[in-house]
């Protein structure tokens, strides 16, 4: 019955002109645990750059979510809000097109989370595959902070408060989207009205970038990432340290392309696909040195990151202006979220004074 929902406006009996004319709403965000890196660039920033011209896009600096497993590092979490914002602006996110905002300054999101929590069981929260994996990775086991266990509900509130229909995320976030839609359906069913809107995940075509050590994921906490603001010698050292093929000892030996980080990154950053295919073939048949490939990759990365680094440096000198951008964005975002939460409360009979 509700299966034709997805991108675009909700089909209702009474469609208004503004719904017909409105652009799809996009919401996505990042935990503010540290500056962003190349994995974020290919995984989501590039998508956001494209979407900001065609949609109404909200970008969330998820400081509250970051605290759910970093309460001991709360200073770092709050200090990184501006770092991540600078990363956004440095790659070309335009605050006149995208609304960048700070989660902790929109209290309506916490309010909506509190209401949605009544629609999920502890058992369901414990079954979320991403939560399970993160509990194992962080060694929480029996000592899971309650806030951490329920962060998928908080994330659902982030999305639902904006009635976002498109959520660009990495594959590891798919269980969050699924849980969001369960909560949306369950809320609408319990008030017998279509107040909240279901969303769709938008995955990047490139997929996740491996770490420079060859581990499956590039991640700051695993210390295997290249920051967007990396200095030239940092980029060079990272490329030199990159995992290739441990059995490719001599240049003449045939080398392996799968699992080779240099090739994974060239797949993401070498625009000449024909040339890349030839290089792969040459490497597999032997005679192509790791160092030759690494110089090519380094050249690509230096060219990509130089303008970003320069813009970052300029923005870092004008922190007042960056904070003003965040303040304006947060006001705009708060208006939108507050309108939805008012609707939610009305539907629940919680609008006593209006
Ligand atoms: N959990 C997301 C991540 O770790 C970040 C995030 C927070 C998010 N709130 C969101 C993503 C809302 C999409 C929508 O990458």
Residues 259 and 285 grouped into a single domain = yes
Q: What are residue 271's phi and psi, to 5 degrees?
A: -70, -25
Q: Per-residue pLDDT tens for 39-73?
A: 999 988 999 999 999 999 999 999 999 999 999 99
Asked whether residue 226 is assigned to any structural domain, the reply reads no
Alpha helical stretches, state H, 242-272: 261-269
Span 12-36, mean pLDDT? 85
Cα-to-centroid distance, 145 and ligand 1 (Å): 18
Cα-to-centroid distance, 31 and ligand 1 (Å): 7
Residue 3 has pLDDT above 60, yes or no: no
Residue 190 has pLDDT above 90, yes or no: yes
CATH number, domain at 288?
A: 1.10.240.10
Asked whether residue 94 is assigned to any structural domain, the reply reads yes
Span 217-222, mean pLDDT? 87
- pLDDT of 13 reads 61
Residue 325 has pLDDT above 80, yes or no: yes
Q: Which of 60, 112, 162, 174 to mutate to test the pocket of ligand 1 (most atoms within 8 A of CB)?
A: 60
Residues 152 and 270 grouped into a single domain = no
Kindly report the number of other CB atoms within 10 A of residue 132's CB atom.
Answer: 12
Q: Between 21 and 276, whose confidence is greater?
A: 276
Task: State the pTM of this model.
Answer: 0.91
Residue 14 has pLDDT above 80, yes or no: no
Cα-to-centroid distance, 170 and ligand 1 (Å): 9
Residues 309 and 326 grouped into a single domain = no
Q: Per-residue pLDDT tens for 234-261?
A: 999 999 999 999 888 899 999 999 999 9
Residues 78 and 156 grouped into a single domain = yes
Residues 178 and 43 grouped into a single domain = yes
Cα-to-centroid distance, 111 and ligand 1 (Å): 18
Instruction: Say which range, 139-153, 163-177, 300-314, has the weakest mean pLDDT.
Output: 139-153
**The domain containing residue 295 runs over which residues?**
232-316
Residues 196 and 238 grouped into a single domain = no
DSSP string, 148-195: HHTHHHHHHHHHHHTT-SEEE--GGGHHHHHHHHHHHHHHHHHHTS--
Q: Among 18, 39, 26, which residue's Cα sits nearest to residue 238?
A: 39
Q: Which of 25, 26, 27, 28 to mutate to test the pocket of ligand 1 (most atoms within 8 A of CB)?
A: 28
Q: Which of 25, 26, 27, 29 to mutate to test the pocket of ligand 1 (most atoms within 8 A of CB)?
A: 29
Q: What pLDDT band is residue 4 in, cutting at 50, 70 and 90? A: very low
Span 180-197, mean pLDDT? 98
Rounded CA-CA distance 241/294 in Å is 10
Q: Number of structural domains, the chain?
A: 2
Residues 174 and 264 grouped into a single domain = no
Q: What pLDDT band is residue 82 in, cutting at 50, 70 and 90? A: very high
% of the chain at pLDDT higher than 90 = 82
DSSP string, 299-347: HHHHHHHHHHHHHHHHHHTTHHHHHHHHHHHHHHHHHHHHHHHHHHHHH
Q: What is the residue-averaged pLDDT of the chain? A: 93
* Residue with tokens 């990509």, as numbered in its chain: 304
Q: Per-residue pLDDT tens for 106-135?
A: 999 999 999 999 999 999 999 999 998 888
Span 185-214, mean pLDDT? 93
Q: Between 23 and 207, whose confidence is greater?
A: 23
């Amino acid at each position: 019955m509700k299966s034709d929902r997805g991108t675009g406006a909700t089909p209702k009996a009474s469609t208004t002109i503004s719904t017909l004319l409105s652009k799809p709403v996009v919401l996505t965000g990042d935990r503010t645990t540290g500056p962003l890196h190349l994995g974020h660039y290919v995984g989501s920033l590039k998508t956001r750059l494209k979407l900001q011209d065609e949609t109404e896009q909200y970008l969330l600096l998820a400081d509250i979510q970051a605290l759910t497993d970093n309460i001991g590092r709360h200073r770092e979490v709050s200090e990184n809000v501006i770092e991540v914002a600078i990363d956004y602006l440095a790659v070309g996110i335009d605050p006149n097109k995208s609304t960048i905002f700070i989660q902790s300054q929109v209290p309506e999101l916490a309010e909506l989370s509190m209401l949605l929590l009544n629609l999920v069981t502890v058992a369901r929260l414990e079954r979320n595959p991403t939560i399970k994996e993160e509990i194992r990775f962080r060694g929480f086991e029996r000592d899971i902070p309650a806030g951490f266990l329920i962060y998928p509900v908080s994330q659902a509130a982030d999305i639902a408060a904006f009635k976002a229909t498109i959520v660009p995320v990495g594959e590891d976030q798919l269980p969050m989207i699924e849980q969001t839609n369960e909560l949306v359906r369950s809320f609408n069913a319990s008030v017998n009205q279509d107040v909240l809107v279901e969303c769709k995940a938008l995955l990047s075509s490139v997929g996740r970038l491996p770490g420079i050590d060859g581990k499956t994921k590039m991640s700051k906490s695993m210390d295997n990432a290249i920051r967007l603001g990396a200095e030239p010698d940092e980029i060079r050292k990272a490329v030199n340290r990159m995992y290739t093929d441990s059995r490719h000892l001599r240049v003449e030996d045939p080398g392996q392309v799968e699992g080779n980080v240099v090739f994974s990154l060239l797949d993401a950053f070498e625009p000449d696909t024909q040339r890349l295919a030839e290089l792969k073939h040459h490497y597999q048949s032997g005679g192509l040195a790791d160092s030759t490939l690494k110089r090519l990759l380094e050249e690509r990365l230096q060219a990509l990151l130089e303008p970003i680094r320069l813009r970052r440096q300029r923005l870092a000198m004008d922190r007042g202006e960056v904070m003003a951008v965040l303040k304006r964005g947060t006001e705009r975002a708060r208006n939108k979220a507050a309108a939805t939460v008012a609707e939610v409360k009305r539907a629940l009979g919680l609008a006593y004074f209006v």
